[in-house]
Structure 1
Amino acid sequence: MPSATLPRFDLKGWDRKDIAHPYPVYRRYRETAPVHRGATEAGKPDTFYVFSYAEAVRVLSGRRFGRDARTASGGAGAQSGPVPAEYRALRAIVEDWLVFLDPPRHTELRSLLSAEFSPAVVTGLRPRITRIAHELLRQLGRNGEADLVEGFAAPFPILVISELLGIPAEHRERLRANAVALQEASTTRSRSGTGGYARAEAAAAEFARYFRREVRRRRGDERTDLLTLLVRARDEGAPLSVDGIVSTCVHLLTAGHETTTNFLAKAVLALRAHPQVLDELRGAPELTPGAVEELLRYDPPVQAVTRWAYEDTRLGGREVPRGSRVVALLGSANRDPERFPRPDVLDVRRAADRHLGFGLGIHYCLGATLARAEAEIGLRALLDGVPGLGRGDRPVDCAYADDLVFHGPTRLVLDMSGRP
């Protein structure tokens, strides 16, 4: 049973210190009970927060939980989608995102995309990913001090996915700005009012205009980028609308952007706090793939994912009624000592076995292979190309986003020089 000393859990209202390091808070709740009922809002369904690894796996992989609030509630009293109805452009784009779909639509769309994120395709992209990383780092190194997020971690994944989609270089900066604006409507960021939704709505409308225009241009085209392949598949009878193509392109841009950005920035912070691990990685490049998996476990870029209870069920000793919102706290599950011995220790030689950094089940991250390649190449470029990366004794100018779902710094200023 929950302790009387613990308040109702909520993802809102945290102070900045706890946002930057939420793991002690998670531990207090997890040690008391694997599942806690959250604070209840008038007119809203009950929310249950899942802290343990075992129960998070049940939520992510079980058929009793899904992505559609309307299905969970039987259509009664549920918000009709992930975005309020008045934001029409944003709603039209987001409702067709793969992450918000259940089968059979989820299965159809994922099967169309999966070949383009296969290991073979990503292996072919690795030389271009490496060139992008080194060019960004070369530009960043011109300054004595530089913001690692603004100059490297944020543009890097946008440039990579733009290559995959076939977006012209001159359009990428504007699309990156739209991807950032779209995140203003995400998760806990929208709690500050309607300003974030308004900015996201404007970005969604611009995205829609841009990609509809690109769809028209690519009909009959012989290019082999992902956007052209999606257009060709639709023209050949695949169950994919123009709006579906638009939504998919926006989803790929935004999902890949923030997660890789947060991973790289938080990896740098973790390694600065563990200089012996950083030195070990610098001297042993072959450890980089395993280090990426451990860093994803240790401090994942996505801390929480939401599902809805499709039937009455029992979870972590609690009765969860149908229609309830269920939030799996990936950051907590990845630090569960029942699954990971010494979970608060950063051990880059730890066996990479089933952390939840990429989720689990049918919604396991479609782009995980590409994300791993970006993480490995980006991390290696930083380790090899930034002499001052490990100066943990020097304070850094760092600020976290006010978000406990897409979790990471918005600013991370480092000394890029080789000065002692």
Structure 2
Amino acid sequence: MDKLSPTWFAETMGFLTGYLDPNNPQPDVQKKFAESGIIQPQDGLFMVGSREGITQVCGRDAAFSSEEAIRIGNIRPQIPMHLDPPEHAKYRKLLDHLFSPKQMTGVEDEIVNRANSLIDAFQDRGECNFTNEFAEPYPGMIFLDLMGLPQSDRLTLQSMVDAIFHPGEGVTTDIDEIARIQNEGGQRVYDYFEQVIADRRKKPSDDVVSGFLEVEVDDRPLTTEEMLDMCFTLLVGGLDTVKATLTAFMAFLGRNPSYRDQLVADPTTIPQATEEMLRWETPTTLFIRRSTANQEVLGCPVKEGQMVILNNAAANLDPDVFPDPMTVDFSRKPNRHIAFGAGVHRCLGSHLARRELNVAMQEWHRRIPNWSLKPGTNLSSMLPIRNIDNLELIW
């Protein structure tokens, strides 16, 4: 297959930001996929928005690749996210145990402490910028704890992730400049973790990076490049997605206070409410695959080399899977949403993310039950991750 243009991802996200409505996504995608589970918004670019179609593309033996689908500052495929089976499984196995439900139970007390330390700083003030004062630092602090990194590095790492996911946002729409910002942010990630790996070789510790030095793949130690590519994946997956999800949750609850009141009245409903808000909001909306053969998806011909966008937000409204999908129901069971992706590339950190989201909803509504959106708050967001930049709350 031909190599993708270095600016392909930036150009495509620019197009999709205009094509899709990130601020009113549910009725938008419902309308776009009303006639078919696969559409062609641009020549050579397909978008799949039904569960059946996404299952076809993400199946273990599907003729679609992740390896060259995304370039967001990474100079090699991210491990394991951008590797295809069977290569993918070797690395995924190394990482799965680090983020297993059992491991996450072991760090829950620390997650609770992190949430409360942030709330302590502004509870008495009666207002906060939720994005900047809670949603952003909260997952970053937990990531640093797990990786054994100093909390003083959080803003440095966040600036790298911002360059990767939000390059030039509000400043420039020039595609070459956006690609430059992403590449620079990606290089900073590699440089940072190369030093961390070198430090751990000299002085191992009880953390994830030190653990990389002790494991093997194909009966050999991991190379420095492999460790860097896994660190890249963990960083970009561990910070911005939870941040965006928290802002989406609170914006929804602020606009729909009767749902907020359900969480306050009965905190035991929070885990189910979290699943339903993940289904409804799906902040990480789009995933990308590249066809490796001439084939069909839902009866639509897709040629080798063509790109397919997986719209998981649309699939989470599929009436064949979810009865009354346009109604938010905190008691919905079962709730087989795919907010964390589908197939073998399903989000590695989903158990951690769920723990973070549940704890945040629990501790926030325990301590600040009667809050609301500050009048005039801008709730707009962009793709590919629907983060709300300045979510102002009052109580």
State the TM-score, normalized to the length of structure 1.
Answer: 0.84
Could you tell me which runs of 5 or more consecutive residues in structure 1 were left unpaired when the two chains were aligned.
Answer: 1-9, 41-45, 70-79, 85-89
Q: Which residue of 1 aligns with 2:378?
A: 398
Q: Which residue of 1 aligns with 2:36?
A: 33
Asked whether the equivalents of residues 237 and 349 of structure 2 are also in contact (C-alpha less than 8 Å), the reply is: no
| Displacement after TM superposition at 1:310 (Å) | 2.2
CA distance in 1, matches of 2:280, 2:71: 31
> Aligned to 2:94, what secondary structure does the other structure show?
helix
Asked whether the equivalents of residues 115 and 138 of structure 2 are also in contact (C-alpha less than 8 Å), the reply is: yes
Asked whether the equivalents of residues 259 and 301 of structure 1 are also in contact (C-alpha less than 8 Å), the reply is: yes
Question: Is residue 179 of structure 2 the alignment partner of residue 201 of structure 1?
Answer: no
Q: Which residue of 2 aligns with 1:160?
A: 142
Question: Is residue 49 of structure 2 the alignment partner of residue 67 of structure 1?
Answer: no
Asked whether the equivalents of residues 117 and 370 of structure 1 are also in contact (C-alpha less than 8 Å), the reply is: yes
How do residues 319-334 of structure 1 correspond to structure 2 at under 5 angstroms? 319-334=301-316
Q: Which residue of 1 aligns with 2:386?
A: 407
Asked whether the equivalents of residues 66 and 288 of structure 2 are also in contact (C-alpha less than 8 Å), the reply is: no
Asked whether the equivalents of residues 219 and 232 of structure 1 are also in contact (C-alpha less than 8 Å), the reply is: no
| Displacement after TM superposition at 1:181 (Å) | 1.6
Asked whether the equivalents of residues 165 and 225 of structure 1 are also in contact (C-alpha less than 8 Å), the reply is: yes
> Aligned to 2:337, what secondary structure does the other structure show?
coil
Q: Which residue of 1 aligns with 2:71?
A: 83
| Displacement after TM superposition at 1:328 (Å) | 1.3
CA distance in 1, matches of 2:243, 2:189: 21
CA distance in 2, matches of 1:270, 1:20: 11
Asked whether the equivalents of residues 108 and 239 of structure 1 are also in contact (C-alpha less than 8 Å), the reply is: no
1:319-355, Cα deviation, whole Å (9 max, x unpaired): 2222221111111110111211111111111014321
Of residues 48, 73, 86 in structure 2, which corresponds to 1:50?
Answer: 48
How do residues 303-318 of structure 1 correspond to structure 2 at under 5 angstroms? 303-318=285-300
1:332-384, Cα deviation, whole Å (9 max, x unpaired): 11011121111111111101432111111110111111111001001112222
Identity over the aligned pairs, expressed in percent? 24
Of residues 185, 203, 225 in structure 1, which corresponds to 2:207?
Answer: 225
| Displacement after TM superposition at 1:208 (Å) | 1.9
1:15-70, Cα deviation, whole Å (9 max, x unpaired): 8xx32112212111211221111212xxxxx111112222122222252243347x
Q: Which residue of 1 aligns with 2:27?
A: 24
| Displacement after TM superposition at 1:125 (Å) | 0.7
Of residues 269, 275, 282 in structure 1, which corresponds to 2:251?
Answer: 269
| Displacement after TM superposition at 1:317 (Å) | 3.1
Could you tell me which runs of 5 or more consecutive residues in structure 2 were left unpaired when the two chains were aligned.
Answer: 1-14
Of residues 7, 16, 40 in structure 2, which corresponds to 1:11?
Answer: 16
Q: How many residues align?
A: 380
**Per the alignment, do residues 306 and 81 of structure 1 end up closer, same or farther by CA in structure 2, a change over 3 Å counting?**
closer
1:155-185, Cα deviation, whole Å (9 max, x unpaired): 1111111111111122222112222222235
| Displacement after TM superposition at 1:214 (Å) | 1.4
Equivalent residue letter for 2:31: R
| Displacement after TM superposition at 1:232 (Å) | 2.5
> Aligned to 1:307, what secondary structure does the other structure show?
strand
